[in-house]
Amino acid sequence: MALRIETFDNLRGGNTLYKALTHPHAAAPGRALVAALAARPPTAIVDPLGAAEGFAEIFGGAAVEIADIYVQDIARLGRKVLGRCAMPVDRLTESGARSVLVAAFDAERLIEQLQPYLPAGAEILSLDAMRIPAERLTNRRTYLDPLNFATNFALFRDTGALHTRLVTANYWAGYGSTEAACWLTLFDGDGAVIAEWNEPARPGISELTIDSRLVRKKFKLGDFAGQLFIHVIGAAGHDVVKYALDT
């Protein structure tokens, strides 16, 4: 079944919100955020930039009792969001909500603006609860900067007879990057993390190779066949992660 969230278009490329919501290291915090909302019903959702449906599509919302949906953009008033007609944000105080989800990253300033409208005693949460660590960001000021999510997956395996060699390049150096590195997470066939490490790129435009035999030896692993998640820190120019794979 298709996800009701835009993942890519030919003009803008990858949807950074989608990449942020589906980042493997945002999965556990995302589930925890849903659980926190479910524990304090009902929940009012403030959806300033249209992220609420994408969040619900990825993490599900059946356990969350929604009071209503609130927006700031008058062009969105009355439109359906999560099956409810969007209401003006100044009606938020009437919601009776015990929790409020601000469906946005970098939400601190927006939460300050909402103070006059927040229901008394409500717990205020935002998508910032599921941010990846700051040290993994290229641009710490703007979370949804595409350069913060220069990512890709690769088939990665090592058995008695089969090995994988992934080769990429620090082409970001050609755009001015001086400290590019790969944050690598290896998942087994069941989706469990079996290794995680950083692989710094050499200065300048240079090759970067990841060999499954060396990874297996470094982390004392047995046979594995899974996925290698590649997250480039320090990207510049663009967020596309290309590689060649020999397996």
Q: What pLDDT shows up at residue 15?
A: 85
Tell me if 2 is assigned to some domain: no
Q: Which residue has the higher pLDDT, 80 or 247?
A: 80
Find out whether the peptide bond into 133 is cis, omega within 30 degrees of 0: no
Does the structure show a pLDDT above 80 at 10? no
Does the structure show a pLDDT above 70 at 136? yes
Tell me if 12 is assigned to some domain: yes
147: tokens are: 């350069």
Question: Do residues 124 and 20 both lie within one domain?
Answer: yes
Does the structure show a pLDDT above 80 at 5? no
Is residue 186 within 8 A of residue 157, CB to CB? The reply is no
Question: Do residues 140 and 241 both lie within one domain?
Answer: yes
- If one counts the domains in the chain, the total is 2
Question: Do residues 125 and 13 both lie within one domain?
Answer: yes
Q: What pLDDT shows up at residue 220?
A: 97
Q: What pLDDT shows up at residue 247?
A: 82
**pLDDT, tens digit, 9 for 90 and up, residues 46-60:** 999 999 999 999 999
Q: What pLDDT shows up at residue 62?
A: 87
Q: What pLDDT shows up at residue 14?
A: 59
Tell me if 3 is assigned to some domain: no
Q: What is the CA radius of gyration of the chain?
A: 21
Question: Do residues 59 and 159 both lie within one domain?
Answer: no
Q: Classify residue 191 as left (phi > 0), alpha (psi -120 to 50) or beta.
A: left
Residue ending a domain, among 99, 130, 161, is 130
Q: What pLDDT shows up at residue 61?
A: 81
Q: What is the residue range of 29's domain?
A: 8-130
Distance in angstroms (rounded) separating the CA atoms of residues 214 and 179:
23
Mean pLDDT for 127-145 is 96
- The whole-angstrom distance between residue 104's C-alpha and the CA centroid of its chain comes to 12
Does the structure show a pLDDT above 90 at 173? yes
**pLDDT, tens digit, 9 for 90 and up, residues 190-236:** 999 999 999 999 989 999 999 999 999 999 999 999 999 999 999 99
Question: Do residues 105 and 46 both lie within one domain?
Answer: yes
Tell me if 205 is assigned to some domain: yes
Residue ending a domain, among 108, 130, 152, is 130
Any idea what the CATH number is for the domain that residue 17 is in?
Answer: 3.40.50
Which of 187, 172, 176 is CA-nearest to residue 239?
A: 172
Residue ending a domain, among 130, 150, 178, is 130
What stretches of 16-107 show up as alpha helix (H) in DSSP? Answer: 16-21, 27-38, 52-59
Any idea what the CATH number is for the domain that residue 180 is in?
Answer: 2.60.290
